Structure 1
Amino acid sequence: MKLREDYFLGYQKRWIEDGARLKIMEKSRQIGLTHAAAFSAVRRVIEKGARLDIWVSSRDEPLARLFLEDCKAWAQLLDVVAHDLGEIIFDREKKFSAYVLEFATKLRIYSLSSNPNALAGKRGHVILDEFALHGDQRMLYRIAKPVTTWGGQLEIISTHRGVGTVFNGIIHDIHHRGNPMGWSHHKVTLQEAIEQGVVERINGKTGEAESREGYLARVRAECLDEEQWLQEYCCVPADESSVFIGYDLIDACEDDCLKDFEYLRKCENPLYLGFDVGRKRDLSVIDVGEKVGDVMWDRMRIELAGKTFSEQEAELYRLLELPKLKRACIDATGLGMQLAERAKYRFGWKVEAVTFTGHVKEELAYNLRMAFEDRRVRITRDPLLRADLRGIKKEVTTSGNIRFIGESADSHCDRFWAKALRQEAAKPRRGVSASVLMESGEIVHYGDR
């Protein structure tokens, strides 16, 4: 069947026409690859001499249904008879089922969710859609590959989901180990898809008239951080091993916990403050936490982008005046030095100026991570905060020193450092006189130090 040029973009056409026994695609999100794969599936089951069914394994049930809807749309466009058999249970004991489309050739397209065992004992072509997102990729591949033994084709289509996936392992072997399995490798980033016309296709569906440059800039701006942009749209897997605070730690400590100023004014528990002072285009972030027992709860975060020195000082002072605000650690690096000095002159023991050196940042970062590991923090559910917490990376320099770097979409992980300073403020203070501790209200803990 000859492909009409106006139906498919270049990368879609190359994928459809690739008849390799094993083929794999690492791709950007939302570039129409699954739509093209659905056409390829329909074409194979209606071709003269076709003899094999097609088994499609998607990440979940909704995606399985969507794939079959794409197949139905292509069958209608190609004017071929296709019967939607709905959901068919083919193993009642194990409750395995699939959405099925049957053609005049009596061949079928089976669209399943992700249970690897559902493919056991089958025969035909196999499409593994969004493979890197499957729960057990290794088992899925082990069961899927024998399905193609009698002349079937195995297709893997996916965006990346970190460097530790089986999917990325296959890509690594293709590039660095001479492709021992013999994959036909395809790769399409968002930039490449745009250059081949995907924006015009999207405009045709939405009725918009967005330019290629405008679309690319908008998609990138809508990413929470550079990691999301690189992984989801540029085919660069995220290196989870370099992430300092992982999703598992963040998820376990999230809650709806922010309060207003009136709550802080009436609060009975001790409050602690961290202030990361922005330089030039960086955010200035004030983070206030309430310590309930041994757990620090997020209560207020004030972000001061583009604010004057006096405006930032005013926000800080109204918080330092709170009766239960026990201690504040303020970033005294660069522009923060004057702000910290003035605050300390006015509020005395409440304020500690912290100069960011490599050693200090290492201590702050590990103290914050330890609080996550011990579940001694509760943080607000906020994608910008998550992006900053995830954005911090630990690197080891050539001289063996540890340094922390990081950027998110709108900051240099300033929310991370404000929270780290807040946790530092809540640490027991050594070498401080009993009179100061009594004045600050910390004398009740003095015997523990």
Structure 2
Amino acid sequence: MTILDQPLGAIAASNFEDLQQFESTEVLLGYQKRWIADESPLKIAEKSRRTGLTWAEAADATLCAATAKSEGGCNHFYVGSNKEMAREFIEAAAMWAKAFDKAAGEIREEIFIDDGKDGKEILTFVVYFASGFKVQALSSNPANLRGMQGNVTIDESAFHDRLAEVLKAALALTMWGSRVRLISTHNGVDNLFNTIITDSRAGRKRYSVHTITLDDACNEGLYQRICQITRKIWSQASEDQWKADLLRDTATEDDALEEYYCVPKQGGGAYISRGLIERAMHPHNQIIAFESPKDFEKWPVVQREADVSQWLEDQVAPVLAQLNPEHNHVFGEDFARKGDLSIFAIGAIQADTRIRVPFHLELRNVPYSQQEQIMFYVIDNLPRFTGAAFDATGNGGSLAEKAADKYGTEMIEQVMLNQPWYREWMPKLKAKFEDNDIEIPKSLDVVSDLRKIVVNRGIPQIEKGSGTGEDGKQRHGDSAVAYAMVVRASYMEGAPIEFTPLPDRHGGSDPDSDDDSDNSYKGGAW
């Protein structure tokens, strides 16, 4: 008995819950179910070769076309890049109709008059359903979608010569509630398909993005399904060898990454260009450093607290007093105890959503209790504090929990730094630089930190390995993570927490005081 001999009627009513393990009696794998379950008006899938996503899309198209209009049914149009793909999709739709026990006719071959200049006749494939709707394959001529109404799948989108025009025609259908789906492997970093994905992750477009690498698919049973269909015995060793052979047989490493790991070619190197970083830098934005004296952790707690309190009063209070009380403020943190730096970055959110980082704190080898002391002092004195994002990975979880206990979980995001988080939030950080919507301190160390963000298998993240700063001491992309946390915190919707301004050195509380402290920004409130 093959997989298609299993009962399939339950799929139509399934809630498509996530699957983490392969189930031999399930027809669709986890990532296929999540794709179908996503009812976003616009969605896009960057995928490895031969993961069966188009096959799953045919199931969705069949269910929609087989549904009565009163229940939300509609036509479904498939736009592939060649005739063979069109036939394969329509055959899959016919198979699903039979499996779902939906009333449908046989596959028809019809003559479609291409709306191009020559108006040539094109053979097209279509399945009609008793509902009155159809699943039809169209040519890639954008004009052929004009006047149509229904959902549209643009398959192997990155390989369409006129993707922009096809997409323009397809998007017009969404005015009346239809949906558009783009599915493809990558075809270069400068391809429109990749640009749409990048813009979507940055928040500039509203596509729901699905990523299915070869590893993702295999983790949810792709190779086990292949073994099931081909009647082979699965083992982890055979799966590992199968994947290794696929990668080794590809012409180049770049090709392998593009074909199987959703990494568009020419996408390596630093993620944010030096030019964009330097454009965002302003000399009046400050970096305030604190490094623990030798054996500081052995000092009595009271003495440590007093030493840090004096530093806060001398170095941090003046810059906090310069913050504009009319702006919302957020807090972003990258945690370290020894070796690398803990970075506490402040984000002032302008009326136009532009983010300014008037200062960040760099803490080296500071005990946990004193990091907590500094963190509470800063946040307590932020005007209109609306949220914070903390690196809660490893030992950083303790500081993040203390913040959540005091300010509430709706105000504190405890971030586990992992690939899904980097995939979602690094594009938003990059977009701030690209759109000139962020202002940061001017420092070669900050340049170096931000240049540590590289694309690894399609995901922008901090490159591995340690580095050193201009002072010769260890640092490793620390401020880059803190700034990404600031961007994350800027999306939080916590109600502003008001504050009492710090008194200046003359006993007043005017943020526009004429105090001549070396650390104050002479241009007025930030």
Match status 1:20 vs 2:40: yes
Shift of 1:213: 1.4
Aligned with residue 226 of structure 1, among 253, 261, 264: 253
Q: 1:358-369 residue pairs with structure 2 within 5 A?
A: none
Indicate the SS of the match to 1:87.
strand
Question: Matched residues in 1 for 2:153 and 2:85: separation?
Answer: 13
Cα distance per residue 1:379-421 (max 9 Å; x no partner)? xxxxxxxxxxxxxxxxxxxxxxxxxxxxxxxxxxxxxxxxxxx
Q: 1:147-166 residue pairs with structure 2 within 5 A?
A: 147-166=173-192
Match status 1:108 vs 2:134: yes
Residue 63 of structure 2 aligns with which residue?
43
Shift of 1:85: 4.9
Question: Matched residues in 1 for 2:65 and 2:48: separation?
Answer: 28
Shift of 1:77: 0.8
Shift of 1:88: 2.0
Residue 431 of structure 2 aligns with which residue?
none
Question: Matched residues in 2 for 1:189 and 1:241: separation?
Answer: 17
Match status 1:91 vs 2:91: no
Question: Matched residues in 1 for 2:142 and 2:192: separation?
Answer: 14
Question: Matched residues in 1 for 2:41 and 2:262: separation?
Answer: 23
Go from structure 1 to structure 2 and tell me whether the alpha carbon gap of 1:31 and 1:95 turns closer, same or farther (over 3 Å shift). Answer: same
Match status 1:120 vs 2:146: yes
Residue 218 of structure 2 aligns with which residue?
194
Aligned with residue 81 of structure 1, among 92, 103, 118: 103
Shift of 1:140: 1.0
Indicate the SS of the match to 1:203.
helix
Question: Matched residues in 2 for 1:116 and 1:87: separation?
Answer: 21
Question: Matched residues in 2 for 1:26 and 1:60: separation?
Answer: 19
Indicate the SS of the match to 1:64.
helix
Residue 232 of structure 2 aligns with which residue?
208
Q: Which amino acid aligns with 1:208?
A: K
Asked whether the 8 Å contact 1:132–1:159 carries over to 2, the reply is yes
Unmatched segments (≥5 aa) in structure 2:
1-11, 17-22, 270-526
Unmatched segments (≥5 aa) in structure 1:
243-449
Cα distance per residue 1:104-128 (max 9 Å; x no partner)? 1010011123222221221111111
Cα distance per residue 1:347-371 (max 9 Å; x no partner)? xxxxxxxxxxxxxxxxxxxxxxxxx
125-134 or 2-11, larger mean C-alpha shift: 2-11
Asked whether the 8 Å contact 2:40–2:179 carries over to 1, the reply is yes
Q: Which amino acid aligns with 1:238?
A: K
Shift of 1:241: 11
Residue 323 of structure 2 aligns with which residue?
none
Q: 1:269-280 residue pairs with structure 2 within 5 A?
A: none
The two structures, once aligned, show a CA RMSD in angstroms of 2.2
**TM-score normalised by structure 1 residue count:** 0.51
Residue 264 of structure 2 aligns with which residue?
237
Residue 179 of structure 1 aligns with which residue?
203
Asked whether the 8 Å contact 1:56–1:126 carries over to 2, the reply is yes
Cα distance per residue 1:268-307 (max 9 Å; x no partner)? xxxxxxxxxxxxxxxxxxxxxxxxxxxxxxxxxxxxxxxx
Shift of 1:94: 4.3
Moved over 4 A (4+): none
Question: Matched residues in 2 for 1:44 and 1:86: separation?
Answer: 19
Q: Which amino acid aligns with 1:25?
A: A
Asked whether the 8 Å contact 2:66–2:73 carries over to 1, the reply is no
Question: Matched residues in 2 for 1:43 and 1:50: separation?
Answer: 10
Go from structure 1 to structure 2 and tell me whether the alpha carbon gap of 1:87 and 1:241 turns closer, same or farther (over 3 Å shift). Answer: farther
Go from structure 1 to structure 2 and tell me whether the alpha carbon gap of 1:12 and 1:241 turns closer, same or farther (over 3 Å shift). Answer: closer
Q: 1:410-429 residue pairs with structure 2 within 5 A?
A: none
Q: Which amino acid aligns with 1:21?
A: P
Asked whether the 8 Å contact 2:77–2:152 carries over to 1, the reply is yes
Residue 133 of structure 1 aligns with which residue?
159
Question: Matched residues in 1 for 2:33 and 2:141: separation?
Answer: 30
Shift of 1:240: 8.9
Q: 1:390-405 residue pairs with structure 2 within 5 A?
A: none
Residue 10 of structure 1 aligns with which residue?
30
Aligned pairs, number: 241
Indicate the SS of the match to 1:98.
strand
Shift of 1:9: 0.9
Aligned with residue 67 of structure 1, among 85, 89, 92: 89
**TM-score normalised by structure 2 residue count:** 0.44
Question: Matched residues in 1 for 2:81 and 2:171: separation?
Answer: 17
Shift of 1:55: 0.8
Question: Matched residues in 1 for 2:188 and 2:256: separation?
Answer: 13
